[in-house]
Structure 1
C-alpha cells in the first residue's frame, strides 16, 4: 500500500463500511503529503495540537489557488447565504459564536438544552410508537433522521404546521452533502441551491415575524438580542439558523445510527443499557471515540509554515485532519479498536477541539443518550437485517444510509 493512494482509498466508497484498517496504515506516518499542497494528519496528539493552533484557518478564502478543494467549498460557493461562523476565523468567528451561544447555553442560558429533556423523550417515544405493529424498521428513515430535525424545528420555533416543509428542505440539503455517483451533479447542485434559497426566504419571513412578536425560541433570541457584541445582521441570523439546521441535525443522525449499529454488534452492552439507563452517558462518549459521526475535517489551511510530526506544512497548504484515525491512536487509547463504555479516559476528538469544537455537542449528547436508551428498552430482541448496512457516499459525515432492524415487538 503506497502512501500516495491512502487518502484516495479512504474516500473510495468501497471502503466506507470499514475505513479503520486504512486509518491504521495512515497513522504509521503522522503527517502525509498527498499531492503538491495537500497534507493529511492522522495521529491524536498532532491533530489536537493543530485544532488549538491559531495558525490554522477554517476560512476557505485563505486556501492557496492550487490547494485541493472539497465538497464543502463547492457547497459554500453555491449557497445564497454567507458562510456561517463554522467556516470563519477570529474575530468574526468568535463574535458570532458568542452571540449564538447566549440563547443556547451557558452562561446566559444554562438550562436551554436540559430543559428540553422531557420534550425530547416524548418525541423519541412518539417515533417508536409510530413503528406500530411492524416487526422491521429502517432506523435511519423511521427514527434517527426525523428525531433531530424535529428537535431543531422546536428549538428554532418553527411552527408545527411548517415542520414538514422544513424536513423536506433539510433532506434536499443533506442529499447535497452526500453525492449520488449515479445521479446528475448539475441537477443535484440546482436542487440544493433551490432548497437553500427557499429555506432562506422562509427564515427571512420568520425573522420579520419574530422581530415584531418575539417568542421564547432561539430564533427570536437571535433576532432581538442586544448584547456586548451588538446585534446580528439579517444575513448573519439566516446563516446561523441554517447552520443549526444542517450541521446540528446531520451529525446527530449519524451518531444515533452508528450507536444503534454498534449496540447491535455488542449485545452484552445493549443488555446492560436496557437494565441500567445510566450507562448511556459513558456509552455515548465511547461511541463518539469509536464511531464518530464526523470522520475528518477537510478544507483547513495554514497561515504560516508549521512544523509538526517531523514534517513542515507550508503556508497556504490544504490540511485534512482525520479525527476518526486519531480517536483510535494506540498511543492515546489502549486497545483502541475495542468498544468499551467503561473506558476510564475518553477524551475523544468526536466533537473536535479548540475554538471550533462542536457548538451543538450538549444537545447531540442528550439526543443520543435518550434515543439509544429508548431503543434498548423498547425493542424486543432487536437484530440486524444486514451487516454491514449500506453506507452513505459521504466520507466526511460517515454513517449508514439505511439500517434495517428486525425485532419481535415493542415493549411499553
Structure 2
C-alpha cells in the first residue's frame, strides 16, 4: 500500500492534482514500506521534524540504498554540498557567511532596495507580451522574471542564461526520487551538470576577484568577515545554489499563483482593486500550491518517535510539505483557497534552520508579479486547464501556462 502511494505521488499522471493522494497518505501519518523511506504527511509532525536536531540533511549520513536519492546524492562530488545539504555547525557557518551579503543584520535593505528595479523588470515583461490571444505565461513572464533578477543580484551575465538553463533543469530533475531507476544512471546527468556549472562559475568568480563590483558574487568572493573567507569550493557550491534555487522555485510560485487566481476569479478581481492583498495571497499560495512539494533525503541520527511509531537511527525520511499544508487538523477547509485566513502558518518555505534562504526575495517577486498581472491583463482566462506540468514531483509547477486576455492595460 505504501509503495503504491509513493509511486502515485511520483507518477506524472497525478502531477496536475496530487492532493487526493496526499489525503490518502495522511490516514497513516507515518508510512513505511519494506525497504523504502519513512514518509511523514501531517502538519505538526513535519514541522516538529524540521526543527529536530536528530534529523540530518547531510547526504553523507544516508545509508547506501536507504533512499532512492542516496546514490545520486553521492554523485554530486563535482562540487561540495551546498549549505542546504549540511548540518550544524558547517551549515550555520556557511549560511551566516552568505547571509551577510543578502539580509539582516549586515545587509538589511538589500531585498527591499530592489523593489523599483523588480517593478521595472515586471513592467518591461508585461509590455513585451506577444499576442494577447495566446500568451505562454511561463516562457514569456514567469521564467524570465526571476532569472533576470537572480542574474542581476549575483552578477551573472543575463546573456548566459541559455547555458545555465540546461544545467538548472538537469539538477532540478535530479531532485526527483525514482525508485525504479538505476541509482548510478539517475545521478550521472546531475554530476555532469554540476561539473559544467562549477567550471562556468569558477570563471566568473576569478573575474570578480580581479575586478569586483557591487554584485553579491563579488562580495562573496572578496569577503573577509568574522568567519573568514569562503574557500573556492565553498564559494562554487554556494553560487550554484543561489543561481539555481534563486529562480527555480519562484517560477513555480508565480505560475501556480496565476493559475490559482484564474481559477478563483473573485480573488483575482479583488487583487485588481486591492494591491495590498498580494501579501496574504502569496502566503496562502505557499500553503495551497507550494512550489516545493516534498523534502526527500533526510536521515535520522537517533531513534525518533513520531505518532507512536519508532523510526530507527539511520532511516531515510520524506517530509511531504504540500500534504502538511492541507492537513485538516491544522487548517480549516484546507482545500479552499482563502487569502483571508487569519493564520496562514504554512510549510511552503520550510521551517527551522533550513527554511528557504531566499524567502524575502521570492515573496516580493511573487507579490509584484501577481499584482501587476492582475492589474494590467484585461479579462485573462485559461486556454488549458489543467495545464501541462513539468515532470518534477518535488518542484511542482506547470511547464506552460497558456492564457488569453482582451488586451493589456498601460
Shorter-chain TM-score: which interval?
over 0.9
Q: How does 1:10-409 map to 2 (within 5 A)?
A: 10-70=9-69, 74=72, 77-78=75-76, 80-167=78-165, 169-171=167-169, 173-174=171-172, 192-409=190-407
Do the aligned partners of residues 290 and 110 (structure 1) sit closer, same or farther apart at CA in structure 2, a change above 3 Å counting?
same
1:50-70 Cα shifts (integer Å, max 9, x gaps): 000000000111112230222
- How far the C-alpha of 1:247 sits from its partner, in A, is 1.5
Q: Bigger CA drift: 166-175 or 206-215? A: 166-175
Q: Residues of 1 paired with 2:150 and 2:40: CA distance? A: 33
Q: Residues of 2 paired with 1:146 and 1:75: CA distance? A: 29
Q: Residues of 2 paired with 1:323 and 1:288: CA distance? A: 10
Q: Residues of 2 paired with 1:400 and 1:215: CA distance? A: 36
Q: Is the 8 A contact 2:59 2:73 kept in 1?
A: no
Q: Is the 8 A contact 2:42 2:327 kept in 1?
A: yes
Q: Is the 8 A contact 1:384 1:404 kept in 2?
A: yes
- How far the C-alpha of 1:36 sits from its partner, in A, is 2.7
- How far the C-alpha of 1:11 sits from its partner, in A, is 1.2
Q: Is the 8 A contact 2:132 2:408 kept in 1?
A: no
1:342-372 Cα shifts (integer Å, max 9, x gaps): 0000000000100000000001000100111
What RMSD in Å do the two structures reach over aligned CA positions?
2.3
Q: Residues of 2 paired with 1:41 and 1:27: CA distance? A: 8
> Normalising by structure 2, what TM-score?
0.94
Q: Is the 8 A contact 2:51 2:352 kept in 1?
A: yes
Do the aligned partners of residues 189 and 323 (structure 1) sit closer, same or farther apart at CA in structure 2, a change above 3 Å counting?
closer
Do the aligned partners of residues 187 and 209 (structure 1) sit closer, same or farther apart at CA in structure 2, a change above 3 Å counting?
same
Q: Residues of 2 paired with 1:199 and 1:233: CA distance? A: 17
- How far the C-alpha of 1:134 sits from its partner, in A, is 3.9
Q: Residues of 1 paired with 2:140 and 2:158: CA distance? A: 19
Q: Is the 8 A contact 2:75 2:188 kept in 1?
A: no
Aligned to 2:78, what secondary structure does the other structure show? coil
Q: Residues of 2 paired with 1:69 and 1:178: CA distance? A: 9
Q: Residues of 2 paired with 1:30 and 1:302: CA distance? A: 17
Aligned to 1:405, what secondary structure does the other structure show? strand
- How far the C-alpha of 1:331 sits from its partner, in A, is 0.9
Q: Residues of 2 paired with 1:168 and 1:9: CA distance? A: 27
Do the aligned partners of residues 114 and 311 (structure 1) sit closer, same or farther apart at CA in structure 2, a change above 3 Å counting?
same
- Unaligned stretches of 5+ residues in structure 1: none
- How far the C-alpha of 1:160 sits from its partner, in A, is 4.5
Q: Is the 8 A contact 2:60 2:74 kept in 1?
A: no
Do the aligned partners of residues 224 and 234 (structure 1) sit closer, same or farther apart at CA in structure 2, a change above 3 Å counting?
same
> Normalising by structure 1, what TM-score?
0.93
Q: Residues of 1 paired with 2:151 and 2:122: CA distance? A: 15
1:288-316 Cα shifts (integer Å, max 9, x gaps): 00000000000001000001111000011
- How far the C-alpha of 1:385 sits from its partner, in A, is 0.6
Q: Bigger CA drift: 324-333 or 155-164? A: 155-164
| Number of equivalenced pairs | 408
